[in-house]
Amino acid sequence: MPWSPSDEINVRVGADHWLEGVARWPSENCDDRSDPDDITLLVVHNISLPPGQFGGPHVKQLFTNCLDCSADPSLADLQGVRVSAHLFIDRSGAIAQFVPFDRRAWHAGVSSHRGRAGCNDYSIGIELEGTDETAYEGQQYRVLADVAACLLSHYRRLSLSGIVGHCEVAPGRKSDPGRTFEWRRLYKDCLQRIGGDGGAHRH
């Protein structure tokens, strides 16, 4: 059964690098990492399709190459686009996973972090259903913190300082997750789950 925020379970990464109990929507838009153990970055994005509309099937359809781009004029420029993220967290906090964490999802595009280019190669991408100007839901923060803490525990080369926004790895090109995103809230919630200082990064 798909995981939802009302379920009293712990988020865990399985041996196959998928979250246990989470809805799986396998995407072809992925490939091998140059080093599957080199996961040092978690990139937070936002997405809504059509832009500003929540709750429809279009994001999942986009990541699985079955989006009908004629369904809405705003989708026309997505014709032929091949993108994905590892995870999508909708407004209710429900999670869908598209790519196993040991594979490279196509989420960051042209990007770099601390002088290292090609962030897709060493990052995990998480999409929140939202826009730059819309406040995120409490359930989304709670679930994102649960997932981030789980990933920090499982992938030991990932640290709290490696949790960043798309805007940080593609400045001037991307602005998500936007100015409404509460970074301090996320870091505080992660620290409560993992303990210690986590190498905390401050926005």
Catalytic residue among 28, 127, 137, 168: 127
Question: What residues are paired with 129 via a beta bridge?
Answer: 47
Q: Is 63 part of any domain?
A: no
- Which residues are CB-contacts of 52 (< 8 A; sequence separation ≥ 6)? 131, 134
- pLDDT (tens, 9 = 90+) of the chain, 203 residues, equals 333 443 434 799 999 999 999 999 999 999 999 999 999 999 999 999 999 999 999 999 999 999 999 999 999 999 999 999 999 999 999 999 999 999 999 999 999 999 999 999 999 999 999 999 999 999 999 999 999 999 999 999 999 999 999 999 999 999 999 999 999 999 999 999 988 555 444 34
| Residue 195 Rama label (left phi>0; alpha psi -120 to 50; beta) | left
Query: Active site includes 127?
Result: yes
Number of independent structural domains in the chain: 1
Length of the chain: 203
- Could you tell me if residue 77 is inside a domain? no
CA distance to 12, 134, 143, 199, per residue, from 186 (Å): 19, 17, 10, 14
pTM: 0.92
Domain that holds residue 154: 23-55+84-194
Closest Cα to residue 62, out of 133, 71, 141, 109? 71
Residue 13 lies in a domain: no
In a domain, 10, yes or no: no
Is 6 inside any structural domain?
Answer: no
Has residue 132 been placed in a domain?
yes
- On whether residue 9 sits in a domain, the answer given is no
Q: Phi and psi of 160, rounded to 5°?
A: -60, -30
Evaluate whether residue 62 is within a structural domain: no
Residue 143 sits in a domain whose CATH number is 3.40.80.10
